[in-house]
Chain A
């Protein structure tokens, strides 16, 4: 029997050589084993020991390794020290190879954590604002409180809204039909030389959205969001504004956009209608658009309510003037009273000359009306005798009302400013309608009249304006 055939591959050569020498010895002992049964058993045991020795050694080594592993896994510190470097490398590689997958996997945990953290931060902010609101005597705070009461909004919410960040980053004025950039304003000068391409692509995206999703509808793409930034789009008949903003726009910002765009349409009506590619004609609107770029949240909200900074200054000036006048009257009265009281007692005859005020007829005459005469020792005669100079003249200088010319597609005249109002009549192409009002956003114009003589509303996008829209009042249609 060849004992070496049963020997497994030895892990080391020394074990192998030891096994070989043992085998040699056992082979040499073979004749002795044949001498009796007891001797044969001993020989077999020895042979078994010799053959099993490598397996036993291997088993012992494996056992030792398993024990060592058990020791390491039983000790958390050692386990962490062992796995950490591998885990770090693994995550780094995974993020590098497939970022989206990692984000999706971690979102349920991280998203929840972030949500909690934000909620806690907002609660803290609200608490801080609340405390400030209760203790502040700032006129702005008083005004805010008043506004909140009037609007039924908690004062804290108003204050919070005012401190939320909002920034207009870029303003694009784009010709609606061609997609050519008419004007671009930016707080980031690096983007200026690519603005025309961005304008073109924005137009393509608008067209794509309209064709793909808006067939048969009057809607249009009015917002694109990318990360923290959004592109707010406001369109009029010939142009549209695309405004890149960061943060949450204040209430009424859309209306401000609309107003600025209408002002541009009004100012450059001819150049827009017959656009020949010359963008220099729109240089004059840059000042209007820069208002948007420099708009702070509070300014936007105020502008939206129709009170410009200039108007506010005038109001403040008038209030100050009124205060000064009141103070002067009070001081004058006090001085006069003081003088009268400080004189010796005399009998005073006062002759009052009454002069009639201005009347509607330019031939008004003054008629002196002496009323009473006391014992005359001292006579005080008021000398101020106002002369009637008022010449009533007609002051009607109101501008003519604008007209809306119906486009080739015709237009629905509705009973109110919105698609939800019923159609009163379909006005045919080229028909002229007198514009007598507009809604707050400028999207709908109140026109006169239908064939039946009724007042109705048309969408401003569907008609061409002839005249100045700003001369007609904003009305809600009721």
Chain B
């Protein structure tokens, strides 16, 4: 089995649920305070994928970046060397989807070959949705990225989204 380690980032506006995705589905040694101090927290997500005849044990080193204006000046250096990113938006707030192209541009400026996956989070809050799946699909298509309607609360599609990003970065 081949072992690979890749750096990927979680990007998205404040309170879209990036940290919730990390908290429930990946291994983290450090607590949330790092996000408010240096603007980033590194976690690990292990997934196993097929690649040709081999199996790949992929260690996704997830850089969860604070979705706050005050860390904008340091974000670029945190993006350096990232093989891909999960762009997270909140289905209950339309502006969070509008922000995704800026995040994608920032990432691809530093890493032109970076892969993207869009996670439209809070899929469980059905009655409060302000975004339709069609809108998400259109934005994802513009970014040349697959998309998933996820829920950090129920776990719906979270593993699938990470898995898809893993497939893209080892391809």
Contacts and interface: CB of A to CB of B under 8 A. Distances in A.
A181 B5 CA distance: 8
Given A177-B81, A197-B29, A197-B42, A207 B61 contact: no
Given A208-B38, A208-B74, A210-B77, A196 B59 contact: yes
A212 B81 contact: no
Contact of B29 (A198, A211, A212, A276): A198
A427 to B, nearest CB: 24
A200 B34 contact: no
A125 to B, nearest CB: 40
Contacts of A212: 74
B83 interface: yes
Nearest to B30: A201
Which of B42, B44, B58 gathers most chain A CB within 10 Å?
B42
B38 A196 contact: no
A276 B43 CA distance: 19
B3 A211 contact: no
Interface string A195-206: 011101101110
A194 B3 CA distance: 16
B81 A201 contact: no
A211 B73 contact: yes
Contact residue range for chain B?
20 to 34
A200 B74 contact: no
B61 A196 contact: yes
B73 A204 contact: no
B80 A204 contact: no
A200 B28 contact: no
A211 B77 CA distance: 8
Contact of B42 (A200, A276, A279): A200
Contacts of B41: 201
Which of A201, A278, A279 gathers most chain B CB within 10 Å?
A201
A402 interface: no
A180 B61 contact: yes
A123 to B, nearest CB: 42
Interface string A376-418: 0000000000000000000000000000000000000000000
Interface of B: 2-7, 27-30, 34, 38-44, 58-59, 61, 63, 73-74, 77-78, 80-83, 169-170
Interface of A: 175, 177-181, 194, 196-198, 200-201, 203-205, 207-208, 210-212, 276-280
Given A179-B81, A197-B61, A204-B40, 11 more contacts: A175-B81, A179-B63, A196-B59, A196-B61, A197-B28, A204-B38, A204-B63, A204-B78, A211-B77, A276-B4, A280-B2
25 contacts: A177-B81, A178-B7, A178-B80, A178-B82, A178-B83, A179-B7, A179-B61, A179-B63, A180-B5, A180-B6, A180-B61, A180-B81, A181-B5, A197-B42, A197-B43, A197-B44, A201-B42, A203-B42, A204-B40, A207-B74, A208-B39, A212-B74, A277-B4, A277-B5, A279-B5
